[in-house]
Structure 1
Amino acid sequence: MGLEKSEAILLRSVAWSETSLVVTLFTRTHGKVSAVAKGARRLKSPFENALDLLAKSQIVFIEKLNDTLDILTEAKLVRRFKGGQHSLLSLYAAYYLAELTHVLTENHQPMEEHFDVLDASFVKLDEMEDPAKVVLRFEMEFLRALGHLPTFELCAGCGNSVESGRNRSYLFGIDAGGVLCDSCLAGQRYVLRLREETITFLRMVASDGDGLVDSVGSYRDLSPTTRGEVRFAMEKFITHLADRRLRLMDFLEELKR
């Protein structure tokens, strides 16, 4: 047990006592950390504004070796999230990324690359980049880091290449983890039928989550039907992975339009 230092982003906080908070932070060096911030609810808090939701800070904490909460001893603000001052949708998108990170990660499992992706996503939302594009890029990179990125080109069952059917659509298996050929469809649960345009776009985003989203133009250039299907498929897949529907999904309906 000793003092640990790291950059961190505040994912959530709840009251622990009249003067203290239990905070969940995603750190660069230690992954998700749940800690007690003693005195954080006082008018003259030793943490000042460093424990605002979505804020990025430099923290010092004492890591416990058992299942008890860590102890946050210091936090200095690096950057507040300001996207919500300009767009409520950007704020909801940022809250969704924080919720997704919180739900699908375990304490003290370092994921430095994911910290960078989360940090960069908040900066892009601050800079008023299209929330739909930021959210999808984040989801793809996060699922890739977790080893759960769906396959959009090869069959999730047999590994063979999958082409669209006569009606120019694909079968996407939520439980299987990707597109399915006709031979592997038997016995599969939770199968969606998605349009060819939807799968083509998802293939490009998955193959290069940053560059190719930009190279195919704005997310808003897609047809409304395709935008709706992209969000519908991602929500269904993430809900299955998390074993529950994330609360902030209900606030992102605009991304489907």
Structure 2
Amino acid sequence: MLVALVVGLGIAQTVSSLLATSTFTSVTVNVVSAGSTGLGGLVVARYIDRRTVTDLGFGLDRDWVIDLGFGLVLGAALMAAIFLVGLATDWIAVVDVGFGADRLTGVASLLALFIVVGISEELLLRGVVLTDIAEGLRWRVSVRTAATVGLVVSAAVFGLIHLMNPNSSLASTLSITLAGIMLGLGYVLSGDLAIPTGIHISWNFAQGGLFGFSVSGLDFGTSLVETTEQGPDVVTGGAFGPEAGLLGVGAIIVGMACIAWYVRARYGELRFDPGVTVPELRWEE
């Protein structure tokens, strides 16, 4: 199942890249491909593996919503920091700012896209891949080791999948892998996918819908602020977007520190949640 899901997500990424000939087409194809892949993964996990939704990291309750809110704020704040640092150093320049009806419609469609992508990718890569690996190893090694292996492998898969995107490179793949570590850290420390889902959604939306950067190599052509990179690619990420540059790497590292601080402040301790390694299955008579 795990291999099938990863291959399916990779195919969806490739098809999206090939068919993204206009903003509307790009958004539509990405929503359909990400949504169908995520739904397929949920159905298989739920009815074949017999996992509960909670075991996949979506234990929706008051605490989950609070953690989601933190993730949403953090993802947007990190991307805003990239934008402001880029402006202050002249590595990034603002070309235009607009709030016309067409632009607002385009931005709203991007928000819908990134909500679907954020939920689907977190469900598959953290909820299924990371959890499957951690649960499989738990009976042989410690919770910390099992969760760490799951974290690293799922992050590597995350990076490799994005290697199929336009303008990708070794640098972008390594950076996206590091982003996968950041997202996975929110999961293994809290035991839920609320924090990584929030970060994933708002990071992508702020990146592409607010500040006009390419999102993992994809330029959707509509945003409230149009920007251009005029600093070195090693810093700005060039055509792939900030994630492939030092600005993005710096934001990811800051994001990890913020996640660790939040989990310790909210839950009183900083440890790998053992629930990530213990299956909670759904059995029917």
Which interval holds the TM-score relative to the shorter structure?
under 0.3
If the length of structure 2 is used for normalisation, what is the TM-score? Answer: 0.22
If the length of structure 1 is used for normalisation, what is the TM-score? Answer: 0.24
Comparing both structures, which one devotes a greater share of its residues to strand?
A: 1
Comparing both structures, which one devotes a greater share of its residues to helix?
A: 2
- Answer with 1 or 2: which has the greater Rg: 1
